[in-house]
Chain A
């Protein structure tokens, strides 16, 4: 479990972040949030799905990086195997807390992250209490992520309104002939996409989403990569195949 502390120059003047250990932090996420503006790049690495944000009705895009919680198969022995790293990971071990003031979120630091150290890595504050360039950059990334998340939420809302999102279960078939059903994900409804009216299509085109949707559609084939990496990392739970089943709601 992350252990968040509100970031402050007093408390964290001798706290460091060792970026080389960040991939170890990534290994906790089997679903990694991807923003709309990252989706095209992310689709060249990960299979992209939709999922509901915890406790909320909002949709988000998730890269499937593993088949069980706390299993990210794109990380192995501290090395990150993907060439593209989404904002949600790049901002680690920091995140923003909106609870106190939605307008001015607080930066919080996961002090239990393996990347956080008292001896090694990038300093967060200068002796004057001002942020280092490292922290400055992280804060810019956090801000960038907030803007990107708002954009994602708005655009996915439009997509959902067009009934383009359909809940889908993954059925994982292991080599020992056992099966496991994973719920909570959704995919694009390809048929619906083909049948959009020209007005609907042109409105999607105008916001630049149409090409993103086709990339997300195509990204499904990256599942073979996830399977391959899974089998390398967890050979004892070798996966033969993953099937998609549209769940009947």
Chain B
């Protein structure tokens, strides 16, 4: 086993691809095993081609990224400096209901009283759910940071948060840290051939310098191409194109002008046949249009994007990205696991991609090194978990689309029952009369808590008919208290939290 130069009894992980998926996986695994110390039974080599570019997008994260970066051993301040990072305290969805300027928030902090009292039945206008039970929307609307200068880095005691990061800089930072601090071996070369044994596992890969690499585990981080898992092992994609219609994206870097604010949330603004993301970094904005070519043209999509960013003169050049929605059923097949775009992709509406990379890398870190005899078991277990997660993500993304009242063909088609997965239909049948509850999401591998479903459903005006179970709802006094308490907390946050941009500038200067 192992490649010819590696004579130790250590197991070797070879990662193919040096995008965010490759480097983040390398960092998470290497940090967990302290590979740099050389005392564990594991080595990591990352192979990346200098000729094949990374996808270069993917700038919104989940709050999970905080612990991930901390565990890797990075200073949060350094991350902010190197990646022009900013705080993200949730998502703001504009025009998803009528298209007349309506908006709702999916904040990262759970509703006040969560787990103690089901708030929705007591709120007269349920579309005010996030507002009445959570302070974060107000903090976001005022462009505030999630903490004060007196607090430690990584502290989320006041307000749960994630990041906006410059994708290219993020991968570069991870690369440097992996090589200099974490003991990851870096090889710049293009994989030209992949040898398999009956498409069940990878024997070796041949690089363009004619060297051959063997490994105990190959991690396919080669991007959409999925060179190992897809091309070589022939693992097919379970398509979600019939549920999620978008198949193209136009991405722009938009400079700031004059005195500006950095929005501490990702804004997703619905368009005729898609939506536009707007991600504030400290150095620029990342803005892009995700749309479906079945319902609009690239030209029209570009026009709407330019209009959104106010680029009438056409000074900015968008990059086009095509994609399919779907995932591989066997993400871990034989001795090969797909991580990142090679494992699957759905539109970035809830910024799930980096989070799935974190989960996958953590699983690898926890399971490796492993005897070959156990690999079929751990891979099967992982595949089962991930299939469930992908289905839940697809359901949750679809949820954003089905209660709109817009009249464009794209939005009508999105409401068509045939496009809604059965699993989501079943959930909705229950939520119709009692709303999503914590108990519906008790599985340990669940990604979105009930709170997320509540924010999105209620935010869109989905109003369950609570009358059938009205005898359960006897906590009105408590609910009113929670609403009052939320007002107090909101006031207190608004008077104590600093402006987002100012916080970052001052923090980084100190």
Q: Are B502 and A130 neighbours in the complex by a CB distance under 8 Å?
A: yes
Residues of A within 8 A of B509 (CB): 126-127
- A248 CB → nearest B CB, Å: 45
Q: Are B495 and A133 neighbours in the complex by a CB distance under 8 Å?
A: no
Does B503 interact with chain A (Cβ within 8 Å)? yes
Does A86 interact with chain B (Cβ within 8 Å)? no
A127, A132, A137, A140 — which one has the most chain B CB atoms within 10 A of its CB? Answer: A132
Residues of B within 8 A of A129 (CB): 259
Does B306 interact with chain A (Cβ within 8 Å)? no
Q: Are A131 and B502 neighbours in the complex by a CB distance under 8 Å?
A: yes
- A3 CB → nearest B CB, Å: 27
Q: Are A144 and B495 neighbours in the complex by a CB distance under 8 Å?
A: yes
Q: Are B506 and A132 neighbours in the complex by a CB distance under 8 Å?
A: yes
Q: Are A128 and B495 neighbours in the complex by a CB distance under 8 Å?
A: no
Give the residue of A130, A137, A140, A144 whose beta carbon is less than 8 angstroms from that of B505.
A130
Given A133-B148, A133-B149: A126 and B495 within 8 A (CB)?
A: no
Give the residue of A133, A140, A144 whose beta carbon is less than 8 angstroms from that of B506.
A133
Does B66 interact with chain A (Cβ within 8 Å)? no
- A25 CB → nearest B CB, Å: 23
- A126 CB → nearest B CB, Å: 5
Select from chain B the residue with minimum beta-carbon distance to A129.
Answer: B259
Select from chain A the residue with minimum beta-carbon distance to B494.
Answer: A140
- A97 CB → nearest B CB, Å: 22
Does B434 interact with chain A (Cβ within 8 Å)? no
Does A136 interact with chain B (Cβ within 8 Å)? yes
Does B452 interact with chain A (Cβ within 8 Å)? no
Residues of B within 8 A of A136 (CB): 498-499, 502
Residues of A within 8 A of B506 (CB): 126, 132-133
Does B501 interact with chain A (Cβ within 8 Å)? yes
- A85 CB → nearest B CB, Å: 16
8 A Cβ contacts from B219-247 to A: none
What is the 8 Å Cβ interface bit string for chain A, positions 129-151, against chain B (1 contact, 0 not)?
11111001100100010000000
Q: Are A126 and B499 neighbours in the complex by a CB distance under 8 Å?
A: no
Q: Are B502 and A140 neighbours in the complex by a CB distance under 8 Å?
A: no
Residues of B within 8 A of A131 (CB): 499, 502
What is the 8 Å Cβ interface bit string for chain A, positions 40-62, against chain B (1 contact, 0 not)?
00000000000000000000000
Select from chain A the residue with minimum beta-carbon distance to B495.
Answer: A140
The size class of the interface chain A forms with chain B is 10 to 19
Residues of A within 8 A of B503 (CB): 133
- A4 CB → nearest B CB, Å: 24
Residues of B within 8 A of A137 (CB): 498
What is the 8 Å Cβ interface bit string for chain B, positions 315-330, against chain A (1 contact, 0 not)?
0000000000000000
Select from chain A the residue with minimum beta-carbon distance to B145.
Answer: A133
Select from chain B the residue with minimum beta-carbon distance to A126.
Answer: B505
Q: Provide the bound-state CA to CA distance between A76 and B505, in Å.
A: 38
Q: Are B499 and A130 neighbours in the complex by a CB distance under 8 Å?
A: yes
What is the 8 Å Cβ interface bit string for chain B, positions 470-510, against chain A (1 contact, 0 not)?
00000000000000000000000001001101110110010
Q: Provide the bound-state CA to CA distance between A136 and B498, in Å.
A: 7
Q: Provide the bound-state CA to CA distance between A235 and B502, in Å.
A: 49
8 A Cβ contacts from B146-183 to A: 148-149
Residues of A within 8 A of B505 (CB): 126-128, 130
Q: Provide the bound-state CA to CA distance between A128 and B148, in Å.
A: 19
- B510 CB → nearest A CB, Å: 10
Residues of B within 8 A of A128 (CB): 505
8 A Cβ contacts from B70-118 to A: none
Q: Provide the bound-state CA to CA distance between A216 and B495, in Å.
A: 27
Q: Are A130 and B501 neighbours in the complex by a CB distance under 8 Å?
A: yes
- B86 CB → nearest A CB, Å: 14
Q: Provide the bound-state CA to CA distance between A126 and B506, in Å.
A: 7
Q: Provide the bound-state CA to CA distance between A130 and B507, in Å.
A: 13
B149, B259, B501, B502 — which one has the most chain A CB atoms within 10 A of its CB? Answer: B502
- B422 CB → nearest A CB, Å: 51
A128, A129, A133, A140 — which one has the most chain B CB atoms within 10 A of its CB? Answer: A133
- B154 CB → nearest A CB, Å: 18
Q: Provide the bound-state CA to CA distance between A126 and B498, in Å.
A: 13
- A29 CB → nearest B CB, Å: 24
Q: Are B495 and A132 neighbours in the complex by a CB distance under 8 Å?
A: no
Q: Provide the bound-state CA to CA distance between A127 and B148, in Å.
A: 19
What is the 8 Å Cβ interface bit string for chain A, positions 98-127, against chain B (1 contact, 0 not)?
000000000000000000000000000011
- B489 CB → nearest A CB, Å: 16
Q: Are B498 and A133 neighbours in the complex by a CB distance under 8 Å?
A: yes
- A33 CB → nearest B CB, Å: 20
Q: Provide the bound-state CA to CA distance between A118 and B149, in Å.
A: 23
Q: Provide the bound-state CA to CA distance between A140 and B495, in Å.
A: 7
- A122 CB → nearest B CB, Å: 11
Q: Provide the bound-state CA to CA distance between A27 and B313, in Å.
A: 60
What is the 8 Å Cβ interface bit string for chain A, positions 2-39, against chain B (1 contact, 0 not)?
00000000000000000000000000000000000000
Select from chain B the residue with minimum beta-carbon distance to A139.
Answer: B499
Residues of A within 8 A of B498 (CB): 133, 136-137
Select from chain A the residue with minimum beta-carbon distance to B505.
Answer: A126
Select from chain A the residue with minimum beta-carbon distance to B502.
Answer: A130
A126, A127, A129, A131 — which one has the most chain B CB atoms within 10 A of its CB? Answer: A126
Select from chain A the residue with minimum beta-carbon distance to B144.
Answer: A136
Residues of A within 8 A of B259 (CB): 129-130
- A232 CB → nearest B CB, Å: 35
B495, B503, B506 — which one has the most chain A CB atoms within 10 A of its CB? Answer: B506
- A19 CB → nearest B CB, Å: 14
- B150 CB → nearest A CB, Å: 9
- B498 CB → nearest A CB, Å: 4
Select from chain B the residue with minimum beta-carbon distance to A123.
Answer: B506
Q: Provide the bound-state CA to CA distance between A75 and B383, in Å.
A: 71
- B329 CB → nearest A CB, Å: 50
Residues of B within 8 A of A126 (CB): 502, 505-506, 509
- A104 CB → nearest B CB, Å: 16
> Which B residues form the contact surface with A (CB < 8 A)?
148-149, 259, 495, 498-499, 501-503, 505-506, 509
Q: Which 10 A-B pairs have the closest CB atoms?
A: A133-B498, A126-B505, A130-B502, A133-B149, A136-B498, A140-B495, A132-B506, A136-B499, A133-B506, A126-B506
Q: List 7 A-B contacts (CB under 8 A).
A: A127-B509, A130-B501, A130-B502, A132-B506, A136-B502, A137-B498, A140-B495
In the complex, besides A129-B259, A144-B495, 17 extra interface pairs with C-beta distance below 8 angstroms are A126-B502, A126-B505, A130-B259, A130-B499, A130-B501, A130-B502, A130-B505, A131-B499, A132-B502, A132-B506, A133-B148, A133-B499, A133-B503, A133-B506, A136-B498, A136-B499, A140-B495
